[in-house]
């Protein structure tokens, strides 16, 4: 039966304490995320029984209402009922440092993950089509689609700046302009002229071009004429302070630091400037201060932080890819249930920017297919028609990378499938690590994005990846079917509320 999300939204808003209790509401791939004034006003047990609600989680200072694939429908209806003053200054509930950090990361990355993943899928598809001879890499069609697929990563700082501005209560257009400055043609020309882009670009074609330019006097002269800056020009400085040349394409942490600091600069000038000039000069001072400050400080600091975080994981991975795969495959699903899985996003995005690929996603995929297999194991074992329908829907959804319905609707409900899925994911991850499976562009692992794991000349890695997810899925089905689950009579499952009343 189709769910009336207009009615469900009314019940959700009432059960979280009404419109007046809401500070903000956003959504990610599967969850409505509320920041509330008073969490005590929420009736969680009744809220879990609202039609369309899979479960309710309190995490990272948020009330997260898990909806599933129809979260967009629910969000649109909730928006009609909740009036949020974006300019109002309200103290959010105090949470621990880790929860606060996870909240920041999820709020920044969740809104654009699917468009970014779409760019990755497009990259994978055209690479696959070129490898099998369906597309000529020299053709205009390939070249146009190729630069389109790279655009999301080139201008990733702009998307990060926009969502970070909303999180830190900064004028989003000021933040976007500041981010655009860091990926502007003029700044990129400076990088080119100073031989820095060679070290920072993840694109092998750009690296090869720059190497040729450095060694070939003719190309060298042509580039100088193009960018208008001699290759042996004096180092760039600002007010006498040296600027470290860094590429900010696909950059994340420096942009987050910039927008965070900008929030204080903006509030300072809004407080001291006369009203008559505030709207004009506040953005001007923000740009004039924050872009140079990012070049001088936040950029180098952010790159060091990102490099250190990524370096820790990559060091562990290179010590033993198979052990890393076992750990990632085993713990990824529990991390999702705790809501702390967002912490890995800056690492994976940073790997694409610096390495041109990511190993974590190649291991993570086994966890996704393992939990999908475990849910299908319940489907094959179940006798109840309603349970079979629910597990089939959750299992298919998990195969496409959206695991929350499978985790909260099946795995956590019956317990054993969760253990079986984690075990299957660990074994699959071990296989993935043994074959050095990687993702060549950002994606949310699932059957729809398999081309992202393919690259010409790396067939063994791709076949090893396919083997790993096949092992994880198959073992998930077998383990879950063998372990069984409690019958519905043994599991207390609350009945959904009727739509017309709460």
> How many Å apart are CA 327 and CA 141, to the nearest integer?
42
Measure Cα distances from 241 to 181, 236, 248, 292 in Å: 19, 9, 19, 10
Task: State the chain's maximal CA–CA distance in angstroms.
Answer: 80
> Which one of 28, 286, 422, 443 is the catalytic residue?
28
Query: Is 233 within 8 Å of 194 (Cβ atoms)?
Result: yes
For the residues of 44-87, what is the DSSP string, one character each?
Answer: HHHHTTSTT--EEEEETTEEEEE--TTHHHHHHHHHHH----TT
For the residues of 333-370, what is the DSSP string, one character each?
Answer: HHHHHHT-GGGGHHHHHHHHHHTSSBHHHHHHHHHHHH
Q: Name, in order, each residue with C-beta under 8 angstroms of 87's C-beta and a sequence gap of 6 or more.
A: none
Query: Is 420 within 8 Å of 479 (Cβ atoms)?
Result: yes
Query: Is 372 within 8 Å of 470 (Cβ atoms)?
Result: no
Query: Is 287 within 8 Å of 179 (Cβ atoms)?
Result: no
For the residues of 236-266, what is the DSSP string, one character each?
Answer: PEETTEEPPP---TT--HHHHHHHHHHHHHH
Which of 329, 406, 374, 384 lies closest to 484 in space, CA to CA?
A: 374
Edge-to-edge order in the sheet of strand 62-66? 22-27, 31-36, 62-66, 55-59
How many CA atoms within 13 Å lie on the side-chain side of 85? 6
Q: Which of the 8 DSSP states describes residue 501?
A: -
Query: Is 433 within 8 Å of 363 (Cβ atoms)?
Result: yes
Q: Name, in order, each residue with C-beta under 8 angstroms of 59's C-beta and a sequence gap of 6 or more.
A: 99, 102, 338, 339
- For helices 416-434 and 359-381, angle between their N-to-C axes, nearest 10 degrees: 140
Query: Is 63 within 8 Å of 42 (Cβ atoms)?
Result: yes
> How many Å apart are CA 298 and CA 286, to the nearest integer?
14
Query: Is 443 within 8 Å of 348 (Cβ atoms)?
Result: no
Which of 348, 176, 196, 385 lies closest to 262 in space, CA to CA?
A: 176
Query: Is 131 within 8 Å of 456 (Cβ atoms)?
Result: yes
Told to judge if 420 belongs to the known catalytic residues of this protein, a careful annotator would answer no
- Residues designated catalytic: 28
């Amino acid at each position: 039966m189709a769910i009336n999300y207009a009615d469900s939204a009314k019940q959700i808003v009432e059960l979280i304490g009404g419109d007046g209790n809401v500070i903000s509401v956003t959504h990610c791939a599967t969850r409505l995320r509320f920041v509330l004034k008073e969490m005590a006003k929420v009736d969680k047990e009744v809220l879990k029984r609202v039609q369309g609600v899979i479960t309710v989680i309190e995490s990272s200072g948020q009330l997260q209402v898990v909806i599933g694939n129809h979260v967009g429908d629910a969000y649109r209806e909730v928006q009609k009922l909740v009036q949020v003053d974006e300019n109002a200054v309200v103290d959010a509930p105090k949470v621990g440092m880790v929860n606060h950090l996870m909240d920041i990361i999820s709020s920044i990355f969740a809104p654009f993950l699917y468009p970014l993943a779409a760019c990755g899928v497009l990259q994978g598809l055209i690479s696959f089509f070129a490898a099998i001879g369906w597309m000529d890499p020299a053709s205009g069609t390939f070249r146009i689609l190729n630069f389109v697929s790279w655009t999301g990563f080139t201008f990733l700082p702009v998307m990060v700046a926009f969502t970070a501005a909303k999180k830190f209560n900064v004028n989003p257009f000021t933040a976007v302009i500041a981010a655009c400055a860091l990926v502007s043609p003029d700044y990129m020309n400076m990088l080119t002229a100073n031989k820095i882009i060679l070290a920072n670009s993840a694109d092998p074609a750009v690296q090869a071009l720059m190497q040729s330019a450095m060694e070939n006097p003719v190309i060298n002269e042509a580039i100088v004429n193009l960018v208008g800056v001699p290759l042996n020009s004096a180092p760039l400085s600002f007010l006498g302070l040296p600027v470290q040349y860094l590429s900010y394409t696909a950059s994340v942490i420096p942009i987050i630091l910039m927008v965070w600091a900008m929030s204080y600069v903006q509030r300072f000038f809004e407080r001291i400037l006369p009203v008559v000039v505030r709207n004009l000069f506040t953005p001007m001072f923000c740009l004039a201060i924050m872009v140079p400050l990012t070049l001088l400080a936040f950029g180098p600091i952010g790159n060091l932080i990102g490099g250190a975080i990524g370096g820790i994981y990559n060091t562990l991975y290179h010590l033993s890819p198979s052990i890393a795969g076992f750990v990632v495959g085993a713990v990824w699903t529990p991390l999702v249930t705790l809501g702390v899985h967002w912490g890995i996003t800056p690492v994976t995005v940073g790997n694409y920017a610096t390495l041109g690929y990511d190993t974590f996603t190649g291991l993570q995929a086994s966890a996704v297919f393992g939990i999908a297999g475990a849910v299908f194991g319940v489907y094959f074992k179940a006798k109840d028609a309603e349970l079979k329908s629910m597990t089939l829907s959750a299992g298919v959804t998990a195969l496409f990378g959206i695991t929350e319905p499978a985790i909260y609707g099946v795995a956590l409900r019956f317990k054993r499938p969760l253990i079986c899925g984690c075990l299957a994911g660990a074994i699959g991850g071990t296989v993935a690590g043994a074959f050095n499976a990687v993702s060549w562009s950002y994606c949310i692992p699932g059957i729809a994005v398999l081309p992202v794991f393919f690259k010409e000349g790396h067939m063994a890695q791709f076949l090893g990846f396919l083997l790993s997810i096949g092992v994880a899925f198959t073992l998930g089905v077998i383990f879950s079917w063998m372990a069984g689950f409690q019958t519905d009579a043994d599991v207390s499952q609350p009945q959904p509320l009727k739509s017309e009343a709460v």
